[in-house]
Amino acid sequence: MKMFRSSKVILTLMTAVFLLVLGAANVFAAKQAPKQKNIILATTTSTQDTGLLDTLIPIFEKETGYFVKTIAVGSGQAMAMGQKGEADVLLVHSPDAEKKFMSEGNGVNRRLVMHNDFIIVGPASDPAKIKGLKSSAEALKSIAKANALFVSRGDNSGTHAKEKTLWKKAQIDAEGQKWYQQTGLGMGQTLNVAAEKKGYTLTDRGTYLSLKKNLGLNILVEGDAALLNIYHVIEVNAIKWPKVNVNGAKAFADFMVSKRTQNIIKTFGVKKYGSPLFFPDAGKKVENLGK
Amino acid sequence: MELIVQGIIKAFELLISFDPEVMGITWLSLKISGTATFISLFIGVSTGTIVALTNFPGKKLVISLINTGMGLPPVVVGLFVTILIWRNGPLGFLDILYTPYAMIIAQAIIATPIVMGISLAAIQNLPPNLRLQILSLGASRLQMVWILVKESKLPLLAAVMAGFGGVISEVGASIMVGGNIKGYSRVLTTATVMETGKGNFDVAIALGIILLLLAFLVNLFLTQVQQRQQQR
């Protein structure tokens, strides 16, 4: 009797799991679009953390029938994926690295999508007295001089790349200094670290605005032309990697610079944060931005 | 502290309103980790039993390897699985990176050594004379193995729970091979990471609570099965 019951329980258990697996396979199969329907979009964390892509991608998918797999990583990693042909299209904000990426023949058709700006945020007490400074390089010099804590992304992202050029401009070798700490995390988490440790950090305005309520960090330096944050869309070179979904990549890039999308970008976040998070720039020239 | 209260309230809100996105994420977590555990059960119990019941040179080394595997770091598994299955990798033709399938594979790799190690110890722990007894009563070898497995069902169910607990709570591999794609490969742990990054701590806490609740319910069910066997 005992044997009979125990095997029955095991049998029931196995049947249950088996049915679960079957159900799972079915659901996945239904959702799995044909091969060329999948587009891998490698992008920065800021486009996901602000919620912009959650607004745009469903519209694109509905319109075109493509399925977008958004992989939100830093710009550096996104381009590394493109470099290996592991992504179809990139939405990134690290202009110098992008130019290198293009010159190596990894991408085609790099187009300007939008911009916002970087800001330097820090605690209200502002130990380095940088509030209101017009030059970001001056601000960094003051921070270094005051030995005030600066929290860096340290992850090769677009923001980190921008930060490095700013340190270079200020002629300060911050890396290895006691007051300079690298998190290796995304923007949202880095802002939280800075808030917790009462440090300064460089952030894109979009992520800052969407996290502001929990932070207790203030905008201290803004408006410097060097702080422009520019997003481009790049299609990965399909001649180099034949597995790239070339049509899908083009469709997505076209969508990002289309008039309708640009209008959505223009008003995105206005209702929630009182000001737009991004400024649409399709068709413009980089030199004319922020003027 | 206030934040935790907010999170708990949020968790209740999401659960009571049957928020479709959260329900989808929860259901997907259960499916992926359940399937992975099921696969690990087959490989783990069979291999564990074979290793326990046979004698061969280097057996201790193999057991040490299995026991080391019980602590396999999920991110390392995620990294290797990614490199194997990405487009231009050796298994790229499968086209499964950033899909739930890839997550099942990674999680099964994480859970298998856990199940294997515990079942191995369970079978080894049976009184050595039991085998002889069963064989002398005229059982075939296969029947003997089946009886031994059934005799150790208590620790074997513990193995299932440990394996399931290991993968449902795992985030490193899931985010790497699944990509945390909305409505497709986003599970409770990866969603928690993302919401934390977005600064939505209340939602993150709520997802954490739902994850704990899910793990509790699954374990409650398995414990019921396990202890019912024991009472008689």
CB-closest option in A38, A86, A189 to B86: A86
d(CA B145, nearest CA chain A) in Å? 14
The string of pLDDT tens digits covering residues A160-183 is 999 999 999 999 999 888 999 999
State how far the Cα of A95 lies from the Cα of B35, in Å rounded to an integer. Answer: 43
Single pTM value for the model: 0.83
CB-closest option in A10, A57, A69 to B179: A69
CB-closest option in B88, B98, B101 to A71: B98
Mutate to test the interface with B, among A40, A236, A237, A277 (most CBs of B within 10 A): A40
B30 → chain A, closest CA residue? A20
Give me the residues paired with residue A42 across strands.
Answer: A71, A90
**Contact: A213, B198; criterion CB under 8 Å:** no
Which residue did the predictor score with more confidence, A69 or A27?
Answer: A69
**Contact: B87, A85; criterion CB under 8 Å:** yes
Mutate to test the interface with B, among A9, A57, A81, A185 (most CBs of B within 10 A): A9
The yes-or-no verdict on residue A39 having pLDDT over 60 is: yes
Q: Are A97 and A75 in contact (CB under 8 A)?
A: yes
Positions of chain B with pLDDT under 70:
229-232
A213 → chain B, closest CA residue? B199
**pLDDT (0 to 100) of residue B26:** 94
The yes-or-no verdict on residue A3 having pLDDT over 50 is: no
**Contact: B228, A20; criterion CB under 8 Å:** no
The yes-or-no verdict on residue A188 having pLDDT over 70 is: yes
Residues of chain B in contact with residue A32, where contact means CB-CB under 8 angstroms, are: 99
The yes-or-no verdict on residue A217 having pLDDT over 80 is: yes
A57 → chain B, closest CA residue? B182
State how far the Cα of A106 lies from the Cα of A96, in Å rounded to an integer. Answer: 14
Q: Are A207 and A231 in contact (CB under 8 A)?
A: no
How far is CA A210 from its chain centroid?
Answer: 14
State how far the Cα of A37 lies from the Cα of B113, in Å rounded to an integer. Answer: 36
**pLDDT (0 to 100) of residue A18:** 57
**pLDDT (0 to 100) of residue A25:** 52
**pLDDT (0 to 100) of residue A288:** 76
State how far the Cα of B207 lies from the Cα of B213, in Å rounded to an integer. Answer: 10
- DSSP letters spanning chain B: -HHHHHHHHHHHHHHHTT-HHHHHHHHHHHHHHHHHHHHHHHHHHHHHHHHHH---TTHHHHHHHHHHHTT--HHHHHHHHHHHHSTTSTTGGG--TTSHHHHHHHHHHHHHHHHHHHHHHHHHTS-THHHHHHHHTT--HHHHHHHHHHHTHHHHHHHHHHHHHHHHT--HHHHHHHTT-TTTT--HHHHHHHHHHHT-HHHHHHHHHHHHHHHHHHHHHHHHHHHHHHH-
ipTM for this model? 0.80
In terms of Cβ atoms closer than 10 Å to its own Cβ (0-12, 13-18, 19+), residue B8 is middle
